Structure 1
Amino acid sequence: MSSVFENAQGVYYAANAVDGLVADNSRWLADPSSTQPNTIEAKLVSPHRVGSLHVYSGFQNGSSVSDPLADFNVEFYDGTDWISAPISSVSSGTATGNSVTGNTSAELVVNFSEVVAIENVRLTFDQNYGRIRELVVLPRTNSNESEAGFPLGTSVQRAAKPDTQFAEFGDAWFRIAARGSSDVLVASEAGVTQTDSGNLLLQESRFQLLYSYALDAYRIRNRVSGRALEVENASLLSGAAIVEGEYSAAPHQLWRLETTDSGYYQLINVWSGMAIQTSGGSSAELTQQSVDTSTNPINQQEWKPFFRDDYFKKGTGGWVGSYGTGWAYNWNRSDPDLPVDQFYVPMQHRAGWPDFSTLHTKYGDWHRDVKPSYFLGFNEPDRPEQANMTVERALELWPRLENLDLPLISPVPATINASNTWLATFMDDADQLGYRTDYGAAHWYAGPNVGSVFNRVDAAQDASNGRDVWLTEFSVVDWSGGSGNWTEEDIQSFILEFL
């Protein structure tokens, strides 16, 4: 999704209008202070003849949706010029030419007569606080068209996400210190307070900052309890206590990190809009208070994450027993045999398996899990007996994986070298299209040479345009069918040096 004017208010970015979620917390909200008319534009990945446009607008007001987009114009870009969209009918209101007036439906269907293939769809309107919860573009459904029925709204080019990225804090534990006193947050079953910063070994003062792409906010999870910071009883009142709660997707457990200076942030609750504030000193009470919006906010509202140590990075392909690892994956979306102290990383192995039509059913499970969630892309797409996919096909399907709102690991080819540029081509094209890929990936199989492994990882990082790399398969192997010119001791030395 891209917009002619990125005139969003707050965090309600244009990308929210095509993320597959029809929800208030995932909508585009036009900035009423911007120059009228407001404009939002959906750019399709490839030209299509468009049959209809579904416009989900307004906002949730109790059991109903209020203030839908009443009047707007629709235009198409045919690759050369913007043209008026030939609207044939609407499910609410009146259609005249390319204009819709008098709409009262929060789920409006706009039908078009046949047109040539188009590349972009644009809506313009003058309504202040115009809210679009989702745009879904559908192709024409003539019986002789193979493209019929697929929602093009899931395959559009998106505007850039906010500057905040998952990797900003990533797989690590942090101590979160107050400005001035440097006392740190500490959480336990007894509550959330501060403690003296001198006790560096106190595990209750270690937190993960787990980023949600869908909401551009963090859950702050304690290392010992596995619980997350929240506002007590989801209160909207100033002075409400900051406590721990069972990890969930509830908005009073989500925090936005607003930069002040020198690496400090205000921790602002998504639900209440208030900031965590300390009363000062060791064992001080923590409450939510109105955000100090001055250029130099009070120290009691400023916090800084200090890195302490990494989260487990070693995992296993399939569960084969504990080897000091923290996670495991397979070529599927679950592993019922995985112990509770391990976290699971699902994969979309290829285009046809696991079934894409059931992918959305796992969204809630992965987002409610107290353990970190990532998602692995297609497995060895450059091999016929594995994913067997062209770069173009992988890019066509990639937005569906983006809609999971999980950190994404790229497809992993079997080979990365000058003669096999599958990964580099995918990453370059995905970056150009504005698609999100958070990590690169690599496999390695060869003789016991640590330098060879690092060369493969370096090649994957270069092909991934500098991203960190997941090495998801590696083993000493002799592809000639022999046992290689190395001993068991050589292999043991290799493993010890590499790990």
Structure 2
Amino acid sequence: MSRVLIVCWLLASYAFADVETKQTGGIGKKGACFSRQNDQWSYKILQLKANWYYSWGRELREERPKNVEFVPMFWGKWFKDDDIEYLLNLKNQNQIKFVLGFNEPDSPNQSNMSVDEAIALWPKLEAIGLPLGSPATVNPENKWMINFMQKVDDLGLRVDFICVHHYGGKNVQGLLHKLHRVHQRYNRPIWITEFAVADWNAKSTGQNRHSAEDVLKFMEGILPALESLEYVARYAWFSASSTSKPLGSATLFDENNHLTALGHHYASFQPKKK
């Protein structure tokens, strides 16, 4: 191989590595999401061997798991300039590298914001000066998200990556096709900040049509696929209570806070080295 070709190959390799580092922060994709109200939340994050976590909040707590990256979120519209200043201080201390946008603003049961409300507040989030994730809507392909991203582009605002929630069935290819469409539509890296297998028609945990074995098979298929997709920068499985009717079979921890078989697989999963 000629010296010129070697130099070109090295430059291309460095460029790809730089893009990958900007998308992921240079750490593994696998993360965790637990509210601070969740029993033993810090312990659970460590048990899952997560590389990063978020709690739907902005505060970096003292009892946080050490050596696991915290990613703050602006859950909704109820924040003050002091909250921006707090995150600027964390940024200056090199304690945070990314910021997540609003949580399901299209849902009346979550942050419940209009597109115009979200757009009006967005420059405040941009001012922190860190890579910024989009609002995570109930469906990343719905009218709310499409309108929001159109206004972002029209107004020259900044969204660095798309946050995706997914609570579908056990179809691995179905999720992969969805991610492909989202990436094609918005042309940005993707963070899957919540996903799990759900049966929204289940009247009890025993009547959930997705067994724990079904969910494990789904996880065994989807995790390697997510690792192989360059445009998927990070992902975090949502672990509901074991008593949840739609999501009980997808929990990572049982009622005694011990890892389920699914939790053991998530904790032990490591991507194959390239």
Of residues 132, 140, 143, the one that matches 1:408 is: 132
Of residues 187, 194, 197, the one that matches 1:473 is: 194
Of residues 89, 97, 105, the one that matches 1:373 is: 97
In structure 2, relative to structure 1, the CA distance for the partners of 1:356 and 1:461 (3 Å cut) is farther
- One-letter amino acid of the structure 2 residue matched with residue 460 of structure 1: V
Please give the TM-score of this superposition, normalised by the length of structure 1: 0.37
Conserved? CA contact 1:444–1:456, under 8 Å? no
- Give 1:389's aligned residue: 113
In structure 2, relative to structure 1, the CA distance for the partners of 1:357 and 1:365 (3 Å cut) is closer
- One-letter amino acid of the structure 2 residue matched with residue 362 of structure 1: L
> Are positions 1:307 and 2:28 aligned together?
no
> Are positions 1:448 and 2:153 aligned together?
no
> Are positions 1:334 and 2:59 aligned together?
yes
- One-letter amino acid of the structure 2 residue matched with residue 324 of structure 1: K
Question: Which whole-Å CA distance do the structure 2 matches of 1:306 and 1:447 have between them?
Answer: 34
Pairwise CA distance, 1:334: 2.2
Aligned residue pairs: how many?
200
In structure 2, relative to structure 1, the CA distance for the partners of 1:492 and 1:452 (3 Å cut) is same
Pairwise CA distance, 1:490: 1.2
Pairwise CA distance, 1:451: 1.9
Structure 1: runs of 5+ lacking an equivalent:
1-178, 183-260, 266-303
Conserved? CA contact 1:334–1:344, under 8 Å? no
Of residues 211, 215, 220, the one that matches 1:487 is: 211
Of residues 177, 180, 199, the one that matches 1:458 is: 180
CA shift digits 1:51-106 (9 cap, x unpaired): xxxxxxxxxxxxxxxxxxxxxxxxxxxxxxxxxxxxxxxxxxxxxxxxxxxxxxxx
Pairwise CA distance, 1:361: 2.8
- Give 2:262's aligned residue: none
- Give 2:256's aligned residue: none
Q: Could you say which structure has the larger radius of gyration?
A: 1
Pairwise CA distance, 1:431: 0.9
CA shift digits 1:354-373 (9 cap, x unpaired): 4444322320222322x551
Structure 2: runs of 5+ lacking an equivalent:
21-25, 35-40, 224-274
Pairwise CA distance, 1:305: 5.9
In structure 2, relative to structure 1, the CA distance for the partners of 1:486 and 1:408 (3 Å cut) is same
Q: Percent identity?
A: 32
Conserved? CA contact 2:197–2:210, under 8 Å? no
SS, match of residue 415 in structure 1: coil
Question: Which whole-Å CA distance do the structure 2 matches of 1:489 and 1:451 have between them?
Answer: 18
* Segment drifting more, 334-343 vs 399-408: 334-343
- Give 1:359's aligned residue: 84
Conserved? CA contact 1:457–1:471, under 8 Å? no
Question: Which whole-Å CA distance do the structure 2 matches of 1:264 and 1:407 have between them?
Answer: 26
CA shift digits 1:136-190 (9 cap, x unpaired): xxxxxxxxxxxxxxxxxxxxxxxxxxxxxxxxxxxxxxxxxxx99x9xxxxxxxx
- One-letter amino acid of the structure 2 residue matched with residue 429 of structure 1: K
Equivalent residue runs for 1:250-261 within 5 Å: none
Question: Which whole-Å CA distance do the structure 1 matches of 2:50 and 2:184 have between them?
Answer: 27
* Higher RCO (CA 8 Å, separation ≥ 6 residues): 2
In structure 2, relative to structure 1, the CA distance for the partners of 1:488 and 1:390 (3 Å cut) is same
- Give 2:49's aligned residue: 324
Equivalent residue runs for 1:276-295 within 5 Å: none
In structure 2, relative to structure 1, the CA distance for the partners of 1:263 and 1:368 (3 Å cut) is farther
Pairwise CA distance, 1:335: 4.0
Question: Which whole-Å CA distance do the structure 1 matches of 2:140 and 2:84 have between them?
Answer: 29
- One-letter amino acid of the structure 2 residue matched with residue 342 of structure 1: V
In structure 2, relative to structure 1, the CA distance for the partners of 1:264 and 1:498 (3 Å cut) is closer
Please give the TM-score of this superposition, normalised by the length of structure 2: 0.65
CA shift digits 1:349-388 (9 cap, x unpaired): 0001x4444322320222322x551000000010012111
In structure 2, relative to structure 1, the CA distance for the partners of 1:372 and 1:362 (3 Å cut) is closer
Question: Which whole-Å CA distance do the structure 2 matches of 1:436 and 1:342 have between them?
Answer: 26
- Give 2:249's aligned residue: none
Conserved? CA contact 2:162–2:188, under 8 Å? yes
CA shift digits 1:225-260 (9 cap, x unpaired): xxxxxxxxxxxxxxxxxxxxxxxxxxxxxxxxxxxx
Question: Which whole-Å CA distance do the structure 2 matches of 1:264 and 1:434 have between them?
Answer: 34
SS, match of residue 140 in structure 2: coil
Report the structure, 1 or 2, having the larger strand content: 1
Pairwise CA distance, 1:491: 1.1
Question: Which whole-Å CA distance do the structure 1 matches of 2:16 and 2:134 have between them?
Answer: 29
Question: Which whole-Å CA distance do the structure 2 matches of 1:361 and 1:491 have between them?
Answer: 39
Pairwise CA distance, 1:453: 2.0
Conserved? CA contact 1:446–1:476, under 8 Å? yes
Conserved? CA contact 2:199–2:210, under 8 Å? no
- One-letter amino acid of the structure 2 residue matched with residue 307 of structure 1: A
SS, match of residue 87 in structure 2: helix
Pairwise CA distance, 1:485: 2.4
- Give 1:497's aligned residue: 221
